[in-house]
Amino acid sequence: MECSTTGKAMLLFSLLAALSTVNCSFRGLGTLTRAELRNKKRREPVYVFGDSYADTGNHDPNSANASINKPWRVPYGNTWPGKPLGRYSDGRLLTDFYVSFLHEKLPELYRLLNIDTYIAQRSRGDKSKTAGLRERGKGISFAFGGSGVFDTLNTLVYNVSTQIDQLHSIMELGIVTPDDIASSSVLFVLSGNDYEAYTTLHPDLDGIQQFIVQVVNQIAIDLEELASIGFKKFTVTTVPPLGCLPYISHVNNYSSCVDTVNQLCEVHNTLLKARISDLGSLYPNTSFTLLDLYSSILAVVEEGSFTLTPCCEGSCGEVDVDDNPQYTLCSDATKTLYWDSHHPTNAAWEAITNILFSSVSRFIHSLDAKHWHTFKCIFSYVSGTYLVRLFYSKEDSLILDLHALVY
């Protein structure tokens, strides 16, 4: 559950009181007070890269390709807002809950920037806001359902490198400026499309370990490219437990996840954690935070309130020539973890993000106050944000955004 403003303030007060006994060094930071944090607070637009777990509507609703217009068809959006809205869910997904937690605005869709119209308008001196970024301070989502770091099986899907190229293009046009980038953060979400494409072509899983290394290396390359553009704050998701997806768990009659698949996900996430740590060392003035989708989804599975059977079972969103649905709908989407063969329900995303966004609170309250004096930390002030990196062992540290604890 998201902390209230009062709850966050109390948490911040407790943290700062505890940190007064910690061996801390400071980078460009004087006396730290709650009033100063509030006065320094400014909007931090979110730029989103990745796939359908983050895509809030970049697929073209008018595409003739069924896999592209799918999230614009009934019954997607059935729970919220009551009609299809381009999301691969019955309602909200990770991006919606993430920006809500940060009290930021939902990023504009790259699809709606209408780049060609923008170029034509500017060429004739038209400065109307019918194209381009219509509102500063909202960020942009480039996330595209089906995407991976490499090309997947659908040639109409943009991989992450192409999404970054799209950002470069709109920066060259002046739609986004370096100052916009410096004051914004990145949400980087990948849920395993690279692996689905690979296993489709290599069902015997030959070479899968080497391919995992390639995927993680490319994630690091993409993050470095974004850091070189000027972003200073990154939130990167682990790959979720793919063995729980209905298109895989159906071999167990949806009774349990497929452990052998999840073990491969753990390999990916272990490598990713190491690369994120390396990036933190390479870019000491940039924060890289790992959002543990894998553990959070498994925790929801193990809690037992949701079934693994998809609510929209079959070819969700498809009809035959007589308009007969090629799928069946469950009676209550709040009781199923997955909406279709790959994507969580609105209720599941709420449960998952409740775990994700309460992890900092749980961590702080779990620490033994008697041991605070053994910890070390570094305060820093980066792009309008106060950060504290708390080292609680030789190998492990936690980066806390103190603004997020207040607001």
- 204 classed as catalytic: no
* Cβ atoms of 156 and 65 closer than 8 Å: yes
Q: Which two tokens stand for residue 393?
A: 């062992």
| Number of helices and strands in the chain (H, E) | 14, 12
**Which residue reads 């391919």 in tokens?**
211
Beta bridge partners of 140: 108
DSSP 354-394: HHHHHHHHHHHHHS-GGGGGG-EEEEEEETTEEEEEEE-SS
Confidence of residue 406 (pLDDT cuts 50, 70, 90): very low
Q: Where are the beta strands (DSSP E) in 182-281?
A: 185-189, 233-237
Confidence of residue 403 (pLDDT cuts 50, 70, 90): very low
Which residue among the candidates 59, 268, 342, 343 is catalytic per the annotation? Answer: 343
Alpha helices in 250-314 (DSSP H): 259-282, 293-303
Please name the amino acid found at residue 344: P
Q: Is the pLDDT of residue 308 over 60?
A: yes
pTM for this structure?
Answer: 0.81
Across 235-249, 351-365, 369-383, the highest mean pLDDT is recorded for: 235-249
The whole-angstrom separation of Cα 189 and Cα 73 is 24
Domain 44-366 annotated CATH 3.40.718.10: no
The answer to which of 16-20, 128-132, 196-200, 281-285 has the lowest mean pLDDT is 16-20
Q: Is the pLDDT of residue 311 over 90?
A: yes
Which residue among the candidates 183, 340, 342, 383 is catalytic per the annotation? Answer: 340
Domain map of the chain by residue range? 1-40+370-407, 44-366
* Cβ atoms of 326 and 318 closer than 8 Å: yes
Q: Give me the mean pLDDT over the 257-269 stretch.
A: 98
Q: What crossing angle do the helices spanning 293-303 and 259-282 adopt, rounded to 10°?
A: 150
**Residues whose CB is less than 8 angstroms from the CB of residue 400 and which lie 6 or more positions away in sequence, other chains included:** 15, 360, 387, 388, 389, 390
CA 328 distance to own-chain centroid: 29
- Distance set, CA 150 to CA 70, 221, 276, 297 (Å): 22, 12, 19, 25
Q: For residue 141, how many other CB atoms are within 10 A of its CB? A: 27
- 256 classed as catalytic: no
Beta bridge partners of 387: 380, 401
pLDDT tens-digit series, residues 145-198: 999 999 999 999 999 999 999 999 999 998 999 999 999 999 999 999 999 999
Confidence of residue 102 (pLDDT cuts 50, 70, 90): confident
The whole-angstrom separation of Cα 7 and Cα 151 is 44
Beta bridge partners of 189: 50
User: What is the pLDDT at residue 73?
Assistant: 98
- 340 classed as catalytic: yes
Beta bridge partners of 290: 236
